[in-house]
A = this chain, B = another copy of it.
Amino acid sequence: MTDALQNFKAEFFKALAHPARIKIIENLRDAEKSVTELQALLGMDQSGVSQQLGILRAKGLIVARKNGTSVFYSIKDPLLFELLDKVRTIFNNHLIDTKDMLGQLENGPQPVTFAAVSSFGRELP
């Protein structure tokens, strides 16, 4: 794989690495939204919303359409939603794993393995 593609991926994921930006994108699933609309939907102040939109726009994930004094944002590539859906599936898999682990706790002490290093989703002790 080329360096350009690797860097693209890293930059792309960096654009998604913030709860507010995830929320914005999720709110653009069905239709474009103005900044004011998003502001209300996210419960954030105007400056914050505009800043996060600016980041998503700079990274090319969303596009802006200006109408009068309003700016309407929409997702550039709908594949983005498939991406988010895939992460949801991974999240569900994660839940199942956790459930399995919890189930095994009830079966009494288990042999101690290197699993101590592979704790899921939380910081190591």
Task: Give residues in A with beta carbon < 8 Å to B.
Answer: 1, 4-14, 16-19, 21-23, 26, 54, 57-60, 63-66, 71, 77, 79-80, 82-84, 86-91, 93-94, 114, 117-124
Question: How many angstroms between the C-alpha atoms of A6 and B120 in the bound complex?
Answer: 12
Q: Given contacts A63-B118, A80-B90, are A17 and B10 in contact (CB under 8 A)?
A: yes
Q: Given contacts A13-B16, A83-B87, A87-B83, are A118 and B64 in contact (CB under 8 A)?
A: yes
Tell me whether A16 and B11 are in contact (CB under 8 A).
no
Nearest-CB distance from A5 to chain B (Å)? 6
Question: How many angstroms between the C-alpha atoms of A118 and B91 in the bound complex?
Answer: 32
Query: What are 29 of the A-B contact pairs (CB < 8 Å)?
Result: A4-B114, A5-B88, A6-B23, A7-B19, A8-B87, A8-B121, A9-B84, A9-B91, A10-B18, A12-B87, A12-B90, A13-B13, A13-B17, A57-B124, A58-B121, A59-B120, A59-B121, A64-B114, A64-B117, A64-B118, A65-B114, A66-B114, A71-B117, A77-B90, A77-B94, A79-B86, A79-B90, A83-B83, A83-B87
